[in-house]
Amino acid sequence: MTTEERTNGYKSGSNLEKVLRAGHFAVTGELGPPQNADPEHILEKAKLLVGAVDAVNITDNQTAVVRMSSIASGVLAIGEGLEPIVQMTCRDRNRLAIQADLLGAHALGMRNLLCLTGDHNVFGNHPTAKNVHDLDSVQLIRMVKDLRDEGKFQCGDDIKGARPAFFIGAASNPFGDPFEYRPYRLAKKVAAGVDFIQTQLIYDIPRFREFMQKVVEMGLHEKVHIMAGVGPLKSSGMARYMRDQVPGMIVQDEYVDRMKAAIAGIPKEEKDARRDAWRQMGIQICIEQIQEIREIEGVAGVHIMAVEWEAAVQPIVEGAGMLPRPAVE
């Protein structure tokens, strides 16, 4: 029996795959595991996201800082009724470790996998660590596809028994350089067998539109579900930081200015009032961005990154008119 027969014609049978294949505008969120062993942390965040998203990314030692493992956190999320998208970077594991973890992840009920290069370890809390990069993200995608569709390990050996079947995701940064190469890099991921793409956070919508135009010209949007990355700004300081400090990020001054204007007239001492005003504006901008992005040809959904602000996701999804989330059988 092929994997598709076992999963009713689906590649993995995940909720995200079903929603996207049914043609719904999909919504995913993000959940960062704690830097400790406390399951409550995951359970609390999961509660904020259930029903608001179709699936949730669970980061893998995000920003190269040690956290609870993505797969272990995913088990906890499933327990709360939240479908995980396991993130897997090439930074910390070689091909043996990745495949071993994928066998385990499938056995534990994970069905979505996001294949990433990984932030460089010099940024994290173990900058003296040895990094791995045995594979790159394109090679990882192909390996995961071969595990699922060919029933073969990367070395070529047959998997005797159940195959790990994942709906395969990858990232794309429309704003990285060289800009002209970005659509081709995406094409490579498509050729390697990726099923869905989540983009880097988008604040520069005109440039994203330019990127998508090329993607549509190349016909890539018909081969892969492209989800646009969005995220609410928390404060004008964060807007400035994202604009000036984060590699691969372009934030237009307009957003920095609107965030600044949100607290006009509120005295500095009224911290709560300022925070609320900022957050309200952040959510409002995010809703507007989703509405604008939704109109761009080739965009199949949004990936909402509300880092350490999971409570923002529900009002954003609701504000953008994307509730209730579809149930596809």
Beta carbon nearer to another protein, 133 or 207: 133
Q: Does position 157 bind another protein by CB under 8 A?
A: no
Options 10-18, 44-52, 176-184, 266-274: segment touching another protein (CB under 8 A): 176-184
Question: Between residues 104 and 248, which has the closer beta carbon with respect to another protein?
Answer: 248
CA–CA separation, 243 vs 138, rounded Å? 28
Q: How far is CA 17 from CA 83, 199, 274, 319, in A?
A: 11, 17, 40, 24
User: Distance between CA 239 and CA 318 in Å, rounded?
Assistant: 23
By beta-carbon proximity to another protein, the closer residue of 75 and 132 is 132
Please state the closest distance from residue 40 (CB atom) to another protein, in A. Answer: 32
Provide, rounded to whole angstroms, the least separation between the CB of residue 116 and another protein: 9
How many CB atoms are closer than 10 A to CB 279? 19
Single out the residue of 21, 126, 133, 207 in contact with another protein (rule: CB under 8 A). Answer: 133
Backbone angles phi, psi at 60, to 5 degrees: -115, 100
Give the interface segment with another protein, choosing from 16-24, 42-50, 65-73, 90-98 (CB under 8 A): 90-98
Return d(Cα 133, Cα 262) in angstroms, integer. 43
Interface size with another protein, residues (CB under 8 A):
37
Smallest distance, another protein to C-beta of residue 308, A: 21
Q: Is 284 in the site for another protein (CB under 8 A)?
A: no
Residue 274 in contact with another protein, rule: CB under 8 A: no
Q: Are 213 and 166 in contact (CB under 8 A)?
A: no
Residue 11 vs 91, nearer CB to another protein: 91
Of residues 180 through 199, those in contact with another protein by CB under 8 A are 180-181, 184-185, 187-188, 191-192
Q: With binding defined as CB under 8 A, does residue 173 bind another protein?
A: yes
Is the preceding omega at residue 33 within 30 degrees of 0, hence cis?
Answer: no
End-to-end distance of the chain based on CA atoms, in angstroms? 21
Q: CB of 115 within 8 A of CB of 144?
A: yes
Stretch that binds another protein, among 44-52, 114-122, 207-215, 270-278 (CB under 8 A): 114-122
Residue 105: closest CA among 121, 83, 125: 83
Q: 27 or 140: whose CB is closer to another protein?
A: 140
Instruction: At 168, list the tokens.
Output: 């395969």
SS (H, E, C) 15-76: HHHHHHHCCCCEEEEEECCCCCCCHHHHHHHHHHHCCCCCEEEECCCHHHCCCCCHHHHHHH
Binding residues for another protein, per CB under 8 A? 90-91, 95, 117-120, 122-123, 131, 133-139, 142-143, 154, 171-173, 176-178, 180-181, 184-185, 187-188, 191-192, 200, 247-248
